[in-house]
Structure 1
């Protein structure tokens, strides 16, 4: 039995009383030169779906944790009109720090890179605005800003229309069917409202925010990588560039993966993406120091 094959499970307790699992896959032989990774799932995708990614990274000496977005996978959050908010701010401001705290308890004081898939990368970007000293970089895979101007032709038009229609649907029912996002299940209305604000106008300030996210993003200086999957209509290069543009002061890189691995399916066959992730970490981050913040990096 190896640590890679059997992930640890930590139950995270959210402020609304719901719980969600954090799955931790530890490397059998940790490479101390590399940071740990916190993986943030895409919309309506459960944490367990990404275990092949975590195991592939752990086989290369990287400790990985996969969190669960509220209302997805094994989360106990109940989606409906009486549900508490579960938008971008709750994810970036409450849930990501909760996962990082649990990682620190299990893995010790470590530098962490956020690896976000699709909407998970958007949440990761928003967390960067909070300048958490534990987070030293962001990797966005098959990810995008949903701002409609980053999508070609009729798809951009449809996104603009969806940004108007879906919030109304969410207010009436408390959720939006996942089919609107090419997924299954239901999406919390509060999450869709934040998505719609970003898709319709590019406004980066989510509802109920306790900070100015736009100002915080403008000051982010940790590096970010976007990996665009070939033929991924849900996350084309233009939309990935718009995601990176949310970090105007950060060193950013966009790479095209030439194989059409699929918007979600890449996570089941992750070798190509994992190779890019590790190469970028080694190139951009090198030897890392736990808990180093932006100012300390600038002085290093």
Structure 2
């Protein structure tokens, strides 16, 4: 991170692309940083720009470099499996990072897990110890603090892009938490004191780790993810649209990001792929 000094902003102060850029480290120097007041979905906006035809400069909005798009408010934010992501102005950090990869789309299957590790390790630098719930949630005190939605696309020039959407709760009101209808957590006030600084730290870590993922895949993140596994050694249920598919002891993830589940004592673990699946701890 840059050591340049800036006046502290309150968590409710508007995000500043200039301050984020100034705080960001050298790994993020080649990233475009954009902030908007409101939009439907930062993921949808960047995916549309991936699809734009930039041949002969026909579409100046087409992406030509890694791009971070942050929004103070998303009116149509999306979570995994088509779920809505609800927020309010300044109540969360909601942003997406479009990143180009020189690998086939199928090589990105473990990317959400690497992003989860990145968020957790960055928050640890701010004094916030979190855990990871497979496949793409960040938990604080057992409650959901952040979610990850990654969508991939191939541009007209055949460049492969991943659009990494992240929603990190800062100050959700009790009313909004009730509307969400799930156990959620807010970031401790000390860590959220300056959202520009926090966003810059996340961007710096993401840029560094996306380069690492591009060169080595998930391999460099498996052990780190397993150390942060919220349900390691616990009995869990694997649900799909409310129906139980599997139950057993969650052991961690394998080299491509599948959940290892021991369904019987002493048995060989089965592997569970990511998808429209929810992991819940088994009660009792």
Task: Give the TM-score normalised by the residue count of structure 1.
Answer: 0.27
Larger % of strand: which? 2
Larger % of helix: which? 1
Larger Rg: 2
